């Protein structure tokens, strides 16, 4: 131990005793106990630190008096501090080897010539005060060495369990030594008490092997008592846990507790089981912290789940993951939130800080959600990359099978993938800003997409539901804005008015105007159950395609999907009810004094007639309307007039158009106007 004597000067125990001289040191250390010095004067170094290789009585300090210490030699010394602060060193004079069973010599065989013999006393606080006027500040919790147990060489599980039971009384750190230690042969399933940290000597230095049934370590509480009460310090730190192929094996389970910490830990190779499991039995799991943790090559690296038949206790709150790395291999899952195999109770990670790097390979899943699993009201970042060995990525980074009840909700932070082939299976970058979301469905690396891609964006909910925002695209064409566009949209149902769904759709640019796959397109389809689904075609040759959007989640029932699909226009199970190229839409334009609200449609009809009609569904005569000839046959004749009544827009050509099938195309717009008070002149 060390104490401050003067600013900038450290007073060590060796320095203190050296300033006192050999006689003074012996007096402080040995006091007046008869026979302690054995009739001779020792050097200061021999007196304090012992001299196992020399003659006389050597001393080897073994730390504080505590249970489960193996005394094998005469010079092994344990120190006991009395209530008055005097520390006395004792050696065991009885039959050896002897394993302590109490935390003081009087209760462990007694004090006497055939039991514990006092060999010195230290009043270090008084000595410091006499010499320099300094005083001791604070204290230290005990360190429990598992190697002190006589059971350690033959039964490491029994040795560790007995030391944990002893440490549970006063807390402290249980130290596991360097080396490879197998718990499989002698059992496992070690329940860890509160106020106790299980600590090794470093990752890859202390290695624990476990391939048995169930957990190696578990923190939990029973029906009435916290295993990890609020504010306690319980942790696993500075070690590695290696698993095997046992389907029932897991490294660490955290259950019904608060404040557990996993620091500087590596878990590897639970190829049929789980690395870390956080689950509820009867109570919440909260305040868990993972820091500098690596979990690799497990069937499921981290699992949030509930035990079968337990009460519905949604929790996992205030979780913190800092510098967590998951190496997810073929067929494995990085983080699983909610396990359908157990039950359909809610599994929620909330108010969390999650900073996770996920290395994916093969047919793996980075983050997967069960039916009722959610990460909500949280922030941080998820980053997904291919493993260092560069295996091809064919899996899914984020897997949400039930978006109505699971997935991310109000997550403030990026989810990024990089250098992944096929990463568009879910998303490339995503940021949920509580109410406003950003999503990029462009390429995950510099370059362009050589073919168009369809995405099922969302399911539109019931009455008064809304999915709205803006989409912006960037292509590799050299001309500015050529086949690029910014489109504002709003999709939803607004009661039972004529026309059903009438999207708002306003385009700036020409990226939605063509029929080929080098143009973007929205399509709205209905399924056999009458639910409406929004699809989007990302154009060919697109560098980036960014959505900025929001939607009403409750109670109307709009849910986003963003999964890559085949064209909905070739799906016989779907009925197209609207598309952005040829269907009518609503729009708003704000001028200096007027707000124009209107709709637009592109009519494709057969040639051979002079007059054509387009239904506007307003129920009254529109206040403004226009028509433009688009096809070559329509332009060859030209429009002579456009009129309207309460039902239709009538387009009259100068003469009969050329006969043909679908050879006449007309763009028609109509709407109403009203005075805009915001811009009204004073």
- Structure confidence by residue, pLDDT tens digits, 203-252: 999 999 998 888 999 887 654 554 444 445 789 999 999 998 888 899 99
Helix, strand, coil content of the chain in percent (nearest 5):
10, 45, 45
Q: Could you give the count of Cα atoms lying within 13 Å of 387 in the half-sphere of its Cβ? A: 19
What is the DSSP annotation of 465-503?
A: -EEEEEEEEEES-SSTTTT-EEEEEEEEB-TT-TTS---
pLDDT band at residue 344 under the 50/70/90 scheme = low
Lowest-confidence range among 68-77, 315-324, 429-438? 429-438
pLDDT at 135 over 70: no
* Strand blocks (E) in 585-638: 585-590, 594-607, 611-615, 624-629
Helix axes 124-132, 13-30, angle to 10 degrees: 120
pLDDT band at residue 490 under the 50/70/90 scheme = confident
Instruction: Compute the distance between CA of residue 467 and CA of residue 552 in angstroms, rounded to an integer.
Output: 7
pLDDT at 257 over 60: yes
Q: Select from 566, 582, 451 the least CA-distant residue to 517.
A: 451
What is the DSSP annotation of 263-282?
A: EEEEEE--TTSEEEEEEESS
Strand bridging mode 70-71 / 76-81? unpaired
Instruction: Compute the distance between CA of residue 252 and CA of residue 215 in angstroms, rounded to an integer.
Output: 6
pLDDT at 634 over 50: yes
Instruction: Compute the distance between CA of residue 144 and CA of residue 167 in angstroms, rounded to an integer.
Output: 7
- Alpha-carbon Rg for the chain, nearest whole angstrom, is 38
Residues in a beta bridge with 509: 485
The answer for residues whose C-beta is within 8 angstroms of residue 306's C-beta and 6 or more apart is 279, 280, 313, 339, 342, 343, 345, 347
- The residue with greater pLDDT, 573 or 386, is 573
Render pLDDT for 8-63 as a digit per residue (tens, 0 to 9).
333 344 444 444 433 333 333 333 333 333 333 333 333 333 333 333 445 777 88
Instruction: Compute the distance between CA of residue 236 and CA of residue 254 in angstroms, rounded to an integer.
Output: 11
pLDDT at 518 over 80: yes
Q: Select from 365, 284, 296, 362 the least CA-distant residue to 325.
A: 296
564, 453 in Cβ contact below 8 A?
A: yes
Check residue 108 and give its pLDDT.
94
Check residue 250 and give its pLDDT.
92
33, 120 in Cβ contact below 8 A?
A: yes
219, 192 in Cβ contact below 8 A?
A: yes
- The residue with greater pLDDT, 542 or 430, is 542
Instruction: Compute the distance between CA of residue 279 and CA of residue 214 in angstroms, rounded to an integer.
Output: 13
Q: Which residue, chain included where needed, has tokens 């607004």?
A: 494
């Amino acid at each position: 131990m060390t104490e401050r004597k003067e600013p900038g000067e450290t007073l060590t125990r060796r320095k203190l005793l050296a300033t006192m001289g050999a006689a003074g040191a012996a007096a402080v250390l040995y006091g007046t106990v008869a026979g302690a010095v054995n009739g001779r004067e020792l050097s200061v170094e021999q007196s304090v630190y012992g001299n196992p290789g020399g003659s006389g009585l050597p001393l080897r300090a073994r730390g504080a008096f505590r249970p489960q210490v193996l005394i094998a030699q005469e010079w092994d010394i344990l120190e006991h501090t009395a209530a008055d602060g005097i520390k006395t060193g004792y050696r065991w004079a009885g039959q050896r080897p002897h394993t302590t069973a109490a935390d003081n010599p009087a209760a462990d065989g007694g004090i006497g010539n055939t039991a514990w013999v006092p060999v010195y006393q230290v009043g270090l606080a008084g000595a410091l005060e006499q010499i320099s006027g300094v005083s001791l500040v604070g204290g230290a919790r005990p360190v429990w060495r598992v190697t002190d147990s006589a059971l350690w060489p033959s039964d490491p599980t029994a040795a560790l369990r007995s030391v944990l039971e002893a440490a549970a009384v006063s807390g402290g750190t249980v130290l596991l030594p360097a080396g490879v230690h197998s718990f499989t042969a002698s059992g496992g399933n070690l329940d860890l008490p509160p106020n106790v940290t299980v600590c090794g000597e470093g990752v890859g230095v202390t290695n624990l092997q476990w391939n048995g049934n169930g957990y190696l370590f578990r923190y939990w509480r029973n029906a009435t008592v916290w295993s990890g009460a609020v504010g306690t310090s319980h942790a696993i730190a500075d070690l590695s846990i290696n698993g095997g192929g046992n389907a029932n094996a897991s490294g660490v389970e955290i259950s019904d507790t608060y404040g557990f910490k996993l620091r500087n830990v590596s878990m590897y190779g639970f190829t049929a089981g789980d690395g870390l499991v956080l689950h509820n039995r009867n109570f919440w799991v909260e305040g868990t912290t993972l820091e500098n943790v690596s979990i690799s090559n497990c069937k499921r690296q981290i699992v949030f789940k509930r035990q079968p038949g337990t009460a519905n206790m949604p929790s996992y709150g205030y979780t913190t993951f800092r510098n967590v790395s998951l190496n997810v291999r073929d067929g494995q899952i990085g983080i699983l939130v909610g396990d359908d195999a157990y039950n359909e109770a809610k599994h929620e990670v909330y108010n969390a800080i999650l900073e996770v790097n996920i290395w994916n390979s093969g047919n793996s899943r980075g983050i997967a959600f069960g039916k009722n699993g959610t990460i909500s009201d949280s922030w941080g970042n998820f980053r997904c990359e291919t493993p260092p060995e560069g295996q091809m990525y064919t899996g899914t980074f984020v897997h949400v099978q039930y978006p109505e009840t699971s997935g991310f909700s109000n997550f403030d932070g990026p989810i990024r993938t990089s250098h992944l082939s096929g990463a568009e299976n879910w998303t490339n970058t995503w940021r949920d800003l509580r109410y406003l979301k950003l999503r990029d469905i462009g390429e995950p690396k510099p370059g362009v997409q050589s073919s168009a891609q369809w995405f099922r964006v969302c399911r539109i909910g019931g009455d008064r539901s809304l999915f709205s925002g803006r989409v912006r695209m960037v292509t590799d064409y050299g001309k500015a804005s050529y086949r690029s566009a910014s489109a504002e949209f709003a999709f939803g149902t607004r009661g039972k008015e004529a026309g059903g769904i009438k999207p708002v759709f306003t385009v700036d640019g020409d990226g939605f105007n063509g029929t080929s796959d080098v143009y973007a397109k929205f399509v709205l389809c209905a399924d056999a159950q009458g639910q409406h689904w929004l699809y989007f075609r990302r154009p060919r040759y697109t560098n980036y395609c960014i959505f900025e959007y929001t939607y009403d989640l409750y109670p109307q029932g709009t849910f986003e999907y963003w999964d890559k699909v085949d064209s909905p226009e070739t799906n016989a199970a779907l009925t197209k009810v609207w598309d952005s190229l040829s269907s009518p839409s609503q729009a708003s334009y704000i001028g200096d004094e007027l707000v124009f609200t209107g709709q637009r449609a592109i009519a494709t009809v057969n040639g051979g007639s002079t007059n054509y009609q387009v239904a506007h569904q307003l129920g009254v005569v529109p206040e403004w309307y226009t028509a433009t000839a688009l096809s070559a046959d329509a332009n060859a004749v030209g429009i002579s007039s456009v009129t309207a009544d309460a039902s239709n827009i009538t387009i009259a050509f100068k003469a009969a158009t050329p006969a043909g099938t679908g050879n006449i195309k007309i763009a028609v717009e109509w709407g109403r106007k009203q005075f805009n008070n915001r811009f009204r002149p004073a």
